[in-house]
């Protein structure tokens, strides 16, 4: 049974890796299941024993990315929104090839949309904690979450497409000031998120 499980895991990993290789070459929307199975050197029919579609394969890859991010978050001391930035940019630095594929110019709206949805759920607990400290939030929380998640991935996409000209620490600082502090100002009317801690 363990051997079978390992074989299944290996096949799924090979299919995910093939997809990640193909996105920068063809663009997600132009990739076919046959492209992926050929690249992975796996029988076409085998794909359907694991996935119903390329979207499902992509979804699994993004879920793994987010799970990895969440595991990093649990291992860090940061429990505030500002800590998210450094966590994300260090994660991106460690997995550059993956992020270049997922957020490069040959990516698609579907890829970015899935990443954004996942990031909203990562950020939500921290945002909800801050919202509870505001009497009359000016901006609805769902709009704030959407803005933060979209802005994170736009900054990451810019960073990787420009060969990471700044270290993760600087990008995290830019994220804090450009996204988190500005959003908090819009939500609460307070100049700094520090007031909410």
Over residues 94-114, the pLDDT tens digits come to 988 889 888 888 777 878 888
76 confidence band (pLDDT: 50, 70, 90):
low
Of 126, 171, 170, the closest CA to residue 144 belongs to 126
27 confidence band (pLDDT: 50, 70, 90):
confident
Print the SS3 string covering 43-56: CHHHHHHHCCCHHH
Domain boundaries, the chain: 2-54, 56-196
* 28 and 108 Cβ atoms separated by less than 8 Å: yes
Q: Under CATH, to which class is 56-196 assigned?
A: mainly alpha
Topology match between the domains 2-54 and 56-196: no
The span from the CA of 51 to the CA of 2, in Å, is 21
Cα end-to-end span (Å), the chain: 50
CATH number attached to the domain at 2-54: 1.10.10.60
Calculate mean pLDDT across residues 7-23: 94
Q: What is the pTM of this model?
A: 0.78
Please give the pLDDT value at position 102. 86
* Model confidence pLDDT, tens digit, residues 52-65: 999 999 989 888 88
| CB proximity list for 188: less than 8 A, separation 6 or greater | 134, 137, 138, 195, 196
């Amino acid at each position: 049974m363990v051997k079978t499980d390992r074989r299944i895991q290996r096949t799924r990993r090979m299919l995910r890796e093939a997809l990640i290789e193909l996105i920068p070459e063809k663009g997600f929307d132009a990739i076919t299941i046959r492209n992926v199975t050929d690249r992975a050197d796996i029988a076409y029919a085998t794909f359907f024993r694991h996935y119903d579609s390329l979207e499902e394969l992509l979804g699994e890859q993004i879920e793994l990315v987010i799970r990895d991010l969440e595991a990093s978050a649990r291992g860090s001391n940061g429990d505030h929104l500002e800590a998210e930035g450094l966590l994300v940019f260090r994660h991106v630095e460690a997995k550059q090839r993956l992020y270049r594929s997922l957020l490069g110019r040959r990516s698609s709206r579907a890829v970015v949309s899935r990443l954004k949805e996942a990031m909203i759920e990562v950020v939500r607990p921290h945002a909800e904690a801050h919202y509870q400290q505001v009497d009359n939030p000016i901006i609805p929380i769902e709009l704030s979450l959407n803005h933060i998640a979209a802005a994170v991935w736009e900054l990451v996409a810019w960073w990787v497409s420009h060969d990471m000209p700044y270290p993760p620490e600087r990008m995290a600082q830019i994220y804090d000031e450009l996204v988190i502090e500005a959003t908090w100002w819009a939500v609460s009317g307070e100049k700094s998120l520090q007031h909410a801690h």
